[in-house]
Structure 1
Amino acid sequence: MELIRRSAFARAGLLGNPSDGYHGKTISAIVRDFRAEAVLYEWDRLELVLSQEDQSKFRSIRELARDVRLHGYYGGVRLVKATIKRFVEYCDAQGIALHERNFSIRYQSTIPRQVGLAGSSAIITAVLRCLMDFYGVTIPQRVQPSLILSVETEELGIAAGLQDRVIQVYEGVVYMDFAEEQTEHIQGYACGVYEPLDPGLLPPLYLAYDPRIAEPTEVIHNDLRGRYRRGEPAVVQAMRKFAEFAERGRAALIAGDWREFSRLMDANFDLRRSILRLAPDHIRMVETARQCGVSAKFAGSGGAIIGVCPDDDTLARLKRAMQEINCVVLRPTIQPAG
C-alpha cells in the first residue's frame, strides 16, 4: 500500500505584513518548531478522516461555543475538501489526466490555532503536496502559493494574502515583492517575485504566543480591505510604508545591520497599531516584551509576536516576564529550505 506523508511548517512574518494582500513587500520565515502533516494512502473509496479539530464531542456548552468561534463550524476538514476540489479544477484547466485510484487522507497539526502562525494554510499546503505525489502532478513552485491562496479566498471566503503560502511552499526565509508591476500571470494565477534569503543572515530571534487569547484573522484585520479599496489615505500610505520596511529590512540583513532590522520590526508593529483596532491582550504581549529590551511585532495577525533577542540572559528575562502573562517563549528553528 502506497503511503504518502507530507508536512508544512508554521511561519512568522518578519517585516512588511500585512501589505502582502495590498501589492506590498514582506520578509517571512518558516518556523520548524510547529507543523501540519497530511497522510494519504490508497483506499477503496475516497475518505476524509476527521482530526481532533473536527471534533463533535465537548465537555460543556461553552467549550462548544469557543470551538466554533475559533475553528468555525467545520473545523479543518473543510480545508482538505476545498484543497482537493481546487486541485481537480487546476488539473482539468491544465489538461492533466488523473488516474482513477481512490485514497484516504487525514491531517494533524501542532501549530497553535488562530495566533497568526498560518496553521490553516499549512494544512492546505501539506494536503496539496500529498495530492501532487499521489497523482504524479507537478505544479510550478511559483504557482503553488497562488493556488493555495485560492482555496481559502475563492472556496472558503477567508480573507488572506500570499505571504503565508509563499513561505510555506518555498521554506527557509523569503523576501517577497507583490507590486502590480512585478506580478506575472502564470497558468491563470497572479504570482509575485520571491527571493530566498540565507537564514544565516537573521539576527537571534524569539517567538512568543498565548493560545488562550487567539482571534481569527478576520477579527484582527477589521475592515482593512474595505478601507484600502475606498482609498482611505492612512491605510494606503501605511501599506506603502510596510513595503518600505521590508525593502529596508532586506538591505539591513545583507549588510549585517541587526540593530536596524530590529528597529524596523518595532516600527512595523507601531504602524499597524496606528491603523487597526488591536486586542488589548495582544498589545500587552508586545509591550511586555519591549519592557525586557527586545523588539516586538506580530508574527501574523495577532496572538503571537516575534522580535530580536540578542543573548541568552535577555531571553531568560523575557521568558520570566512573558510567563507572568501566560505566554510561551522559544527560539524559533529557522533553517534553509529542503
Structure 2
Amino acid sequence: MIIETYSYPRAAVIGNPSDGYFGKTIAFVFSNFVAKVQLYQTPQLEIKPQRADKTTYNNLDELVDNINFAGYYGGMRLIKGIVKVFYEYCKRNNIKLASKNFTITYNSNIPLRLGLAGSSAILTACLKALCLFYEVYIEPAIFANLVLSVETNELGISAGLQDRVAQAYEKPVFMNFDKKIMEKEGYGKYEVLHNVHFPNFYIAFRKNLSEGTETVHNNLKARFDIKEAKVLQAMKRWAQITEEFKAALEKRDKQKMHELINENFDLRRNLIPVSQGNIEMVELARSVGASAKFTGSGGAIIGTYADEIMYNKLHDIMNNNEIEVIKPNIINNN
C-alpha cells in the first residue's frame, strides 16, 4: 500500500514576524500549490532524492538554475531531520514502532524561499505519512512543535511556529504566543477561526526575490535578544494589530482590515531593511487601491482588494512587471 500525504503553503495574514517573538498572528494554508509525500513499505529504509537534491548537471548553467530554484541545500536534509525527530519523539514517549522499513519520495510545486513555508510543508507532509505508516497520533500543537524543531534544533534555521501551526491544523488559526503560555505549555494558545468571512485576498510573488527566512530572522532575533527598544515596541504593536484584525474580521469591517494590513508592512519596513524589489511589489498593489504586506519573510505579498474591477487592475499592473498574482484557495478542513 502506498501512503500519500499532502501539505500546503501558508499565508501569514497579520502579525508576522511576531510569531517567533511571543507575539500574535493569524494565518491560513491554501491549495493553489502543494507538497506531496509518498511512503511505502520496503526491505530497507530509503529516501529518494528529487530535483532539488541533484548532484550531477549537464553544464554550469544547469547547476546555477538548480541553485536558483532550490537554494544550496535541497530537501534531503528536511526528510532526514523529520524522520529523526519522529523516531526520537516516539522513543521519549514510549511509543513502540513496528519493525518495518519504508521508501519515501517527495515533490513540491510550492515556490521556494518566498516566505510561503515551502520547506515546512514538505516536513509536514512527511510527518503525516510517518504517523499513518506507524499508526501514531500526534495532536496538532505538538505536531507543529516537532516540525519546527527540525528546522531550529536539527538544521539551525531561525523560524517561528506560525507556519507549522497553520499546516498542522489545516484551518485558519489565530495564534497567541504569549511568553507565559509558551513557557507553561510548550506551545501557544491556538484558536481555529470557524465560519469567518475573510475579505477578498490575493497573493503576489516574484520568484527572483527569493531569500531564506533565516536571512531576515537571524538579525531580528539578535536585536530582540538584546532587548532593543524599537524591536520590542514593534512586536507589541504587531500583537495588537492581530487582535484588532480579529475583531474587524468578526465585524466584517473590510476597511479596518485593509488599514491594518498596510500598517503591518509599514511597521516592518521601519524596522528591517526591505529590498527595492519587495517595496515595488507592495507599492504597485497599493497604487490600484489594494492593501499589501509580506506573506512571510519576503518575496511574496498578501493583501485585500475590494472587487473584481480592482483585482483586474492589480493583475494587469503586476503582470506588466513580471509578478504573478493568484487568488488563494483557502483550506478549512474539518
Provide the residue aligned with 2:80 in structure 1. Answer: 81
Query: Partner residue of 1:109?
Result: 108
User: Between the two proteins, what is the percent identity of the paired residues?
Assistant: 43
CA contact (8 A) 1:184 1:192 kept: no
Aligned partners of 2:248 and 2:257 also within 8 Å: yes
The Cα offsets for residues 19-67 of structure 1, whole Å up to 9 and x where unpaired, read as 0000000000111111111100001110001111112244543553464
1:28 maps onto 2:27 in alignment: yes
2:212 equivalent in structure 1: 216
- Cα distance in 2 for partners of 1:59, 1:262 equals 48
Q: Going by fraction, where is strand more abundant, 1 or 2? A: 1
Q: Counterpart of 2:40?
A: 41
SS at match of 2:99: coil
Q: Paired residue for 1:152?
A: 151
Amino acid at match of 2:101: N
Asked if 1 retains the 8 angstrom alpha-carbon contact of 2:261 and 2:293, the reply is yes
**Which one is further off, 56-65 or 231-240?**
56-65
Is the 8 Å Cα contact of residues 19 and 162 (structure 2) preserved in structure 1? yes
Q: For residues 253-299 of structure 1, what are the alpha-carbon distances to aligned partners after superposition, in whole Å with 9 as ceiling and x for unaligned? A: 01111111111000000000001011111111101111011000001
Q: Does 1:286 align with 2:285?
A: no
Task: Please give the alpha-carbon distance, in whole angstroms, between the structure 2 residues aligned to 1:115 and 1:284.
Answer: 15
Residue identity opposite 1:227 in structure 2:
R
Structure-2 residue corresponding to 1:242: 238
Q: SS of the counterpart of 1:4?
A: strand
- Is 1:227 aligned to residue 204 of structure 2? no
Matched AA of 1:225: K
* CA-atom RMSD in angstroms: 1.5
Structure 2: gaps spanning 5 or more residues: none
- For 1:89 and 1:259, the matched residues in 2 are separated by 48
TM-score (norm 1): 0.95
- One-letter identity of the residue aligned with 1:35: V
8 A Cα contact 2:9 2:33, kept in partner? yes
Cα deviation 1:166-197 (Å, max 9, x = unaligned)? 000111211000001222655xxx11010011
Aligned-partner residue type, residue 209 of structure 1 = F
1:141, CA displacement in angstroms? Answer: 1.7
Deviations 1:290-329 (A, max 9, x none): 1011000001111110100121111111011001221111
Whole-angstrom CA distance in 2 between matches of 1:242 and 1:15: 8
C-alpha distance in 2, partners of 1:194/1:236? 22
- For 2:216 and 2:250, locate their aligned partners in 1 and report how far apart those are by CA, in whole Å: 32
Distance 2:282 2:119 in 1: 24
Query: Equivalent residue for 2:262?
Result: 266
Aligned residues: 334
Amino acid in structure 1 at the alignment position of 2:162: Q
